[in-house]
Amino acid sequence: MLSRDPFYYGIIRNTIIGFGQLFSDIYIVRKDANKKKVQKVLVPVSYGPKEKWLRRVDENPDGKKNIAVDLPRMTFELVNYQYDSSRKVGSNVNKFVDPVSGKRINTPVPYTLTIIMHVISRTQEDSLQIIEQILPHFAPGLTVNMEYVNAPKISFTTTFSLAGVSIQDNWDGDFDTPRFVTHQLTFESKIYLFGATDPSSESETGSPIIKKVLINSGGLDENGDQIGDILDNYSAVVTPFDTTNKRSDPHVIIENWT
């Protein structure tokens, strides 16, 4: 009922992937007592809830078990979709056209995604190193140009905005409880969701392309007599005149006055 044919542009998926890539090159530096750098560590970032990683680390507090997780680490997850009426475009506007097939896509619908990121570490120092490499880039937003739809190809400028930061430190636990310092960063991303193609637009199996036009600049009066030059006619014909070719195929338009 909602759609005759299935469609999927991967807009939300590509937005989430693009968000994660923003944080793929964050490092922390560890120094010895003489302030000499002894280690540079890449902070891994992955999609998933914070509780998943905390549980795995909690089961391996001394790091001796062979578990493929370590701290510090960044995790993020999509937690909310919100319709954004302030960016709504008139529903009668069709301005997105596939240059290959000529299909028009119905007016996109604006949504705001809420993404929660957790920065998890064992020490305050590691946590602050990560946070200070993130916050300066968001004042409060970071703009990224992303290609949303592959076929047809449509791109938009997306802004990832930092809406808030909070911190949790379980330092008050008993001596057998491992310490976790967790920063929670709340981001918002404004995207557009596209629906199916306009059923009235051109498609390969739908209405054919107009390939021949005939215009008679004369006419007949009320008595049926010819008005103007009877030879004053105009024609425009697409060559090659093939019923299977597309708008993007090589062609010429032959015009003729007779």
Instruction: Report the pLDDT value the prediction gives residue 67, as an integer from 0 to 100.
Output: 42
Instruction: Report the pLDDT value the prediction gives residue 48, as an integer from 0 to 100.
Output: 82
**First-to-final CA distance of the chain:** 51
pLDDT-based confidence at residue 66 (cuts at 50, 70, 90): very low
Task: Give the chain's length.
Answer: 258
What's the mean pLDDT when you consider all of the chain?
A: 76
> What gap in Å lies between CA 33 and CA 64, rounded to an integer?
25
Q: Mind listing the domains of the chain with CATH numbers?
A: 11-193 (3.30.2000.40), 212-257 (no CATH)
Query: Is the confidence at residue 37, as pLDDT, over 80?
Result: yes
Task: Give, in order, the Cα–Cα distances in Å from 136 to each of 97, 125, 133, 139, 253.
Answer: 38, 18, 7, 7, 56
Residue (of 188, 10, 163, 9) closest to 112 by Cα position: 188
Residue-wise pLDDT tens digits, 149-165? 655 566 777 889 999 99
- Is there a cis peptide before residue 140, judged by omega within 30 degrees of 0? yes
pLDDT-based confidence at residue 68 (cuts at 50, 70, 90): very low
Query: Is the confidence at residue 141, as pLDDT, over 60?
Result: yes
- Is there a cis peptide before residue 136, judged by omega within 30 degrees of 0? no
Q: Please compute the mean of the pLDDT values over residues 73-86 and round it to a whole number.
A: 93
Residue-wise pLDDT tens digits, 191-240? 988 877 665 554 444 445 677 776 665 555 555 555 555 556 777 787 77
Instruction: Report the pLDDT value the prediction gives residue 139, as an integer from 0 to 100.
Output: 87
Instruction: Report the pLDDT value the prediction gives residue 117, as an integer from 0 to 100.
Output: 95
Higher pLDDT, 4 or 105: 105
Convert 65-88 to b/e letters by CB count within 10 Å (16 or more is b): eeeebebbbbbbbbeeeeeeeeee
